[in-house]
Amino acid sequence: MTEGGAVPGPDGRPRCPWGLSTEDYVAYHDEEWGRPVHGDDELFERLCLEAFQSGLSWITILRRREGFRRAFDGFRIASVAGFGETDRERLLADEGIIRNRAKVDATLANAKLLATWSPGELDSLIWSYAPDPAGRPAPRSVSEVPAVTDESTALAKALKKRGIRFVGPTTAYALMQACGLVDDHVEGCVARGGK
């Protein structure tokens, strides 16, 4: 077994090591991370959560995801775009989410902007940066998984150019991983290839 490679879980099935680090991660790893996500609202949610995760552990966000969904009305772009100052103050007082003023403000501004886009435009833009999977061999260990790629740098640049706030190359790559634009499950992992 390669150091940082797939590790047998309690059920004997091999997984990425991080996917076994907490109980919360097992289901997320097995059923969600790396699986294709489509839809403007669905991608808006992931984009927002990755921005809120910036500087924090993903487990912090994962454990508060339902709180985020309640606070931001299921991340429906049309709804969040209508949030006003009262909603902003409510969000900044909501202990069920990360109460970071810059991240809350970016989420509200991004929703207002995205509400002006055509249906499917966010989905099309994000997925246009998915690399050819044939050119990406399975990482043998987590140490081979990059934090930034040329594609994530280009995606972040394209989103910023269109006015999206709080997204950089690392956040864009985390989004690409979480939403299945890339498959960074390590070689031998039970979830590799969306199994």
Q: What is the CATH number of the domain that holds 66?
A: 1.10.340.30
Domain count, the chain: 1
The alpha carbon dihedral of 148, 151, 154, 159 has a sign of negative
**Whole-structure pTM value:** 0.94
Judge whether 195 and 35 are in contact, CB under 8 Å: no
pLDDT one-digit tens code per residue, 19-72: 999 999 999 999 999 999 999 999 999 999 999 999 999 999 999 999 999 999
Asked which of 4-8, 40-44, 171-175 is least confident by mean pLDDT, the reply is 4-8
Judge whether 56 and 33 are in contact, CB under 8 Å: no
* Residue at 35 is within a domain: no
* Residue at 11 is within a domain: no
Catalytic site residue from 32, 42, 58, 117: 58
* Residue at 161 is within a domain: yes
pLDDT for position 183: 96
Residue set of the binding site for Zn(2+): 16, 29, 185, 189
Choose among 120, 43, 145: nearest CA to 51: 43
* Residue at 23 is within a domain: no
* Domain coverage including residue 69: 40-179
What does the alpha-carbon distance between residue 194 and residue 33 come to, in Å, rounded to a whole number? Answer: 9
Confidence of residue 134 (pLDDT cuts 50, 70, 90): confident
pLDDT one-digit tens code per residue, 81-124: 999 999 999 999 999 999 999 999 999 999 999 999 999 999 99
Catalytic site residue from 28, 32, 117, 144: 28
* Residue at 114 is within a domain: yes
Residue set of the binding site: 16, 29, 185, 189
Active-site residue flag, 58: yes
Kindly give, in sequence order, each residue whose CB lies less than 8 Å from that of residue 12, ignoring residues fewer than 6 positions away: none
pLDDT > 70? residue 2: no
Dihedral (Cα; 140, 144, 150, 153), 10-degree rounding: 120
Catalytic site residue from 25, 33, 45, 50: 50
